[in-house]
């Protein structure tokens, strides 16, 4: 019985994962599994570039980990959703410019490279923007 | 029926009619037009329910799409692909797909595409535009479809539409075999049969049935639902700056970092 039950649970888990994979494919240009959504990082820094393009918008920034005083500044590439998704949640193509000082919360790349998926950006004027539904919410302050 | 009975009956009928009209008008007050599917499918539509949206009890969301009823000889390859996708996701190294490579998802996936879609009804033609990847399909009314072996393989295929009462019935053939809906293989005999109808001025459904005598044991049926977006303007979408690269080491996706 136990084995049967374990098998049923495993089956349900696999079906669930398969469903998730379809959901990810249906909502995004690519799966977000390459980002670590459980260990989010907050970065402070200066914008070096803002690329407003499909399939994704990118923020290039010189940033450091806001929660680690010993962290050193380095270049980060932050992937955002697409212009369409961002327009629908209130962004504007010109709201971020090189030189702006911003704070971002990201799901870092699992590869350990300096980049990640945006969860939330706080602009110099204090306004906060999410990255649309499919990218998910920040889980840290 | 005597005179007074007739009067009572007429009065009741009048009240019922007035009540029905009142209800119908109230339901349509946001569009201020009668429910005419020949003009009112025109507009911008979002998938329903949207991610995280609480569905309206009046419009139960469609059931999950079942797996394709594949013939046994195609099942193993399909299962292997699905397992590879799931394993890659679990490892954090998602597989590279045509969609990631900036190719449109084609039919029938574009009817439940990532982004809003626009329906345009013009004489003899209905045009559907999916915002993601600027996808456009043209449905020619009462058009004669070519034989499947003569249909040029395309992403959105060849579509002919006709009205059956209030339902727009569309037949589509000629989908490229590289355009795979939910990883299901298909051949040139595949037909996509759709029945689109308005459920209310602001709700629409598309009942889809896929048949393929070469690959499927029977019809593969599922339903898409849409909610009207008022005042929405479709965004331009050109997949111009893809940074998701194929990683030959993992077979997965690698993000190209900038400087």
Alpha-carbon gap, residue B64 to B224, rounded angstroms = 10
- List the domain boundaries for chain B: 1-34, 39-256
Work out the pLDDT band at A6, boundaries 50, 70, 90: low
Scanning the structure block, which residue is given the tokens 């809003």? B116
Whether A15 has a pLDDT exceeding 50, the answer reads no
The whole-number pLDDT of residue B22 equals 45
What does the pLDDT look like over B83-93, one tens digit per residue? 999 999 998 88
Percent residues over pLDDT 90 in chain B: 76
Percent residues over pLDDT 90 in chain A: 76
| B3 reaches A (C-beta below 8 A) | no
Mean pLDDT of chain A: 87
Q: Does A29 contact B100 at a Cβ distance shorter than 8 Å?
A: yes
Q: Which residues on B lie below 8 Å from A26 (Cβ)?
A: 109, 112, 114
| B85 reaches A (C-beta below 8 A) | yes
Full-model pTM:
0.84
The whole-number pLDDT of residue B44 equals 98
| B63 reaches A (C-beta below 8 A) | no
The whole-number pLDDT of residue B6 equals 46
Q: Which residues on A lie below 8 Å from B52 (Cβ)?
A: 133
Report ipTM (2 d.p.).
Answer: 0.80
Residues in chain A: 141
Q: Are A122 and A128 in contact (CB under 8 A)?
A: yes
Q: Which residues pair with A41 in a beta bridge?
A: A106
Mean pLDDT throughout A65-85?
96
Q: Which CATH architecture has domain B39-256?
A: Beta Barrel (2.40)
Alpha-carbon gap, residue A19 to A17, rounded angstroms = 5
- Chain A residues touching chain B at CB-CB below 8 Å: 14, 17-22, 24-31, 33-36, 49, 51, 53-56, 58, 60, 75, 77, 79, 82-85, 87, 109-111, 113-115, 133-134
The whole-number pLDDT of residue B259 equals 73
Average confidence (pLDDT) per 10 residues, chain B, 259 residues: 48 46 46 79 96 93 97 97 93 89 95 94 98 97 97 98 98 97 97 98 98 98 98 96 89 88
Report CA Rg, chain B: 23
Closest Cβ opposite residue B94 in set A33, A60, A84: A33
């Amino acid at each position: 019985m136990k084995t049967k039950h374990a098998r049923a649970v495993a089956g349900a888990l696999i079906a669930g994962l398969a469903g998730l994979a379809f959901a990810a494919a249906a909502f995004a240009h690519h799966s977000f599994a390459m980002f670590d959504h459980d260990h989010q990082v907050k970065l402070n820094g200066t914008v070096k570039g803002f690329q407003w393009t499909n399939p994704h918008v990118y923020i290039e920034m010189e940033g450091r980990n806001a929660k680690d005083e010993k962290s050193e500044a380095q270049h980060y590439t932050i992937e955002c959703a697409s212009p369409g998704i961002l327009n629908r949640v209130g962004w504007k193509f010109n709201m971020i410019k090189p030189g702006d000082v911003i704070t971002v919360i990201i799901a870092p790349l699992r590869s350990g490279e300096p980049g990640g998926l945006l969860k939330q950006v706080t602009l110099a004027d204090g306004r906060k923007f999410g990255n649309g539904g499919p990218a998910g919410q920040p889980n840290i302050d | 029926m005597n005179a007074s009975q007739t009067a009572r009956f007429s009065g009741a009928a009048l009240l019922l009619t007035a009540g029905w009209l009142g209800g119908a008008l109230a339901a349509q007050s946001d569009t201020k037009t009668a429910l005419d599917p020949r003009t009112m499918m025109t507009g911008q539509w979002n998938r329903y329910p949207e991610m995280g949206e609480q569905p309206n009890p009046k419009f139960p969301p469609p059931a999950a799409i079942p797996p394709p009823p594949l013939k046994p000889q195609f099942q193993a390859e399909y299962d292997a692909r699905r397992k590879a996708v799931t394993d890659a996701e679990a490892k954090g190294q998602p597989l590279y797909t045509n969609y990631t490579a900036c190719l449109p998802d084609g039919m029938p996936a574009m009817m439940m595409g990532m982004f809003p879609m626009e329906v345009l009804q013009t004489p003899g033609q209905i045009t559907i535009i999916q915002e993601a990847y600027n996808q456009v399909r043209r449905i020619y009314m009462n058009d004669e479809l070519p034989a499947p072996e003569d249909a040029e393989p395309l992403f959105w295929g060849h579509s002919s539409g006709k009205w059956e009462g209030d339902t727009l019935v569309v037949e589509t053939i000629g989908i490229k075999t590289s355009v795979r809906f939910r990883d299901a293989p298909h051949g040139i005999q595949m037909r996509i049969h759709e029945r689109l109808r308005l459920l209310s001025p602001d709700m629409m459904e598309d009942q889809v049935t896929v048949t393929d005598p070469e690959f499927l044991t029977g019809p593969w049926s599922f339903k898409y639902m849409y909610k009207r977006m008022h005042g929405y303007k479709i965004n331009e979408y050109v997949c111009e700056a893809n940074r998701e690269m194929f990683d030959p080491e993992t077979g997965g996706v690698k993000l190209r970092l900038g400087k």
